[in-house]
Every structure is written in structure tokens, then in C-alpha cells.
Amino acid sequence: MLKKLLSGLFGQGGVKATPEAEPVEYRGYLITPDCQAQGGQYRVSGWIRLPVEGGEVKEHRFERSDMVPGREACEQLMISKAQRFIDQIGEAMFEPRQ
């Protein structure tokens, strides 16, 4: 029982990490789905990265509350939502939040 309680406190209960998918290029950005298994479904999440001069990479963690039953469907939904986000926000996503 103590083991179950501690694993829940430290993020090991119910949420399983999945390996990062291959990035998809969109308008110079790299979109990488990183869907998280949770309760038999997958949460829409991933990374939006922008390579800049000097070899640096700006990155934004993209998290949504959407849950999808299949990983492949989750990755496709993440990519389409990230593309829309890029179209709407652009590089402003990398600015510090106030």
C-alpha cells in the first residue's frame, strides 16, 4: 500500500511515458508528438521547436486536455492542433509568460 501511495505521489501511477515520435516540419517549425498514455487513452501533447541561427533551438511544450483512444490518432490530432497554433501565435509562443 505504501508503495502504491509513493508511486502516485511521484508520477508513476497511471501515466506512462511513450517514446517521442519523429518530428514533422511545418513552416520552419518542428512538431514532435509526445502523447502520454493515461487511463487507457492518450493525452494530446508534444513539442514545437524552432531551429535558429547558431545551432540553437527554441522550444515550446504543447499540452492539451484532449484525450484520444489510440496513439496514432493522438499524434495526428497533436500535429493538426500544433499547426493551427503556429498559424495563430507564431514565434510569440516562445516569449516569456507574464
pLDDT given at position 43? 96
Q: Rounded to 10 degrees, what is the CA torsion of 48, 52, 57, 60?
A: -30
pLDDT given at position 6? 44
Q: What is the CATH number of the domain that holds 16?
A: 3.30.160
Which residues constitute the domain of residue 26?
2-94
Q: What is the pLDDT along the chain (98 residues), one digit of tens a residue?
A: 444 444 454 544 454 455 668 999 999 999 999 999 999 999 999 999 999 988 899 999 999 999 999 999 999 999 999 999 999 999 999 998 77
How many structural domains compose the chain? Answer: 1
pLDDT given at position 2? 46
pLDDT given at position 48? 97
